[in-house]
Chain A
């Protein structure tokens, strides 16, 4: 029996119905720590990090006037280096108007629709990713900090439940790999903890920059489960849980991952 199949079988048989224990805060590691030296260097070197191409595009979009209101992001937010510092590291955040948490891409699109009176960007579109990368870059190195807000609690619990729920044809939960078996090998590659500290990131597998929601769709596909469509509240609840789980860890956008 291959090691991969054995691991799957063992976790399927022995996985307890109770919640898997969360990783102790001091033992948390970013996906960065599981990468090769060369891939880490690619992330660290801003002159070679492919994600920086999107940051550059985002920087140009930041000052572009758009929409019926002919406003640019800069018209309201000024210099992103100051106004956006720490912002991405706080998302997903509760939106009082919508009565639920939203992620950074949703926030950008809300600004587009409400303030610029322009058509929102399509999910995973180049412009949306560029702005998310540019805004994300302004939080690089800062600790992930999801506000201790009473209002997010039910959504955080929903995200946590999803993380622990067995699903798909393999009947696996996220927690079984990423809480219980991180650091071990699956199909030749180390299993990371799934700390979502670097999004949007350049994934070598995609040969392009992508969002956390795109990565979650990959995960669910890998588990032979049905993914939620882009923008679905389930995705944002899970994103919220993942960012809360990574609280205190340095934000790395735009990261590079295999």
Chain B
């Protein structure tokens, strides 16, 4: 009855979970076609550098709200908040989100101003695998702040066919 004969069981399960995770995240049915190259920590750093340049990233101010255990990577609720008085002299100008292992590193970039009242945005993102999510805030004084979080992505047990 077992179809695990051709691959060591642990490897096969990991293969199924990883392709299924990618499938779940991008809505692909389980298939054996080659999966696209995913982002790497290096490409995420490059994407961050495009936004930040050589400026130092200070830790703090940002809060990333993502469920630590995600049932389905297709629509993960994300709330990103940055602590700031949002006055004309002291406000968040932009916030950016990046991932480490999605097929490409950028998720969303938002632009704000003192009219926002609160530097907080809520959306639903796709996560292709258990991974690190990084947020960057750009302040009116030119400083950059960052925060990161690790999440685990699982899937429903019964997937749809292609």
Contact = CB atoms under 8 A, between A and B. Distances in A.
Contacts of B156: 189, 205, 258
Interface residues of A, number: 28
A118 interface: no
A206 B158 contact: no
A45 B157 CA distance: 26
Contact of A186 (B69, B74, B157, B161): B157
Interface in B53-79: 67, 69-72, 74-77
Contact of B71 (A35, A186, A206): A35
A2 B13 contact: yes
Q: Is the interface of B mostly helix, strand, loop or mixed?
A: loop
Nearest to B23: A205
A204 B158 contact: no
Contacts of B72: 204-205, 258
Given A221-B160, A222-B159, A36 B154 contact: no
Contact of A221 (B17, B24, B158): B158
A222 B158 CA distance: 5
Contact of A205 (B4, B24, B70): B24
A188 interface: yes
Contacts of B13: 2, 4
Q: Which 6 A-B pairs have the closest CB atoms?
A: A222-B158, A258-B71, A204-B72, A188-B154, A258-B72, A186-B157
A153 to B, nearest CB: 30
B69 A36 contact: yes
B27 interface: yes
Contact of B154 (A42, A189, A221): A189
Interface residues of B, number: 26
Nearest to B75: A204
B53 to A, nearest CB: 34
B161 A207 contact: no
B159 A207 contact: no
A218 interface: yes
Given A42-B124, A204-B72, 20 more contacts: A2-B9, A2-B10, A5-B2, A39-B71, A186-B157, A187-B154, A188-B155, A189-B155, A191-B157, A204-B71, A204-B75, A205-B27, A205-B74, A205-B159, A206-B160, A217-B160, A221-B159, A221-B160, A222-B157, A223-B158
Interface string A154-191: 00000000000000000000000000000000111101
Most buried by A among B67, B74, B156: B156
Contacts of A205: 24, 27, 72, 74, 155-156, 159-160
Interface in B1-34: 2, 4, 9-10, 13, 17, 24, 27
Nearest to B3: A169
A218 B158 contact: yes
21 contacts: A5-B2, A36-B70, A38-B76, A41-B77, A186-B157, A187-B17, A187-B154, A187-B157, A189-B156, A204-B71, A205-B24, A205-B27, A205-B74, A205-B155, A205-B159, A206-B160, A218-B161, A219-B158, A221-B161, A222-B157, A258-B156
B159 A204 contact: no
Interface string A1-31: 1101100000000000000000000000000
A37 interface: yes
A222 B13 CA distance: 15
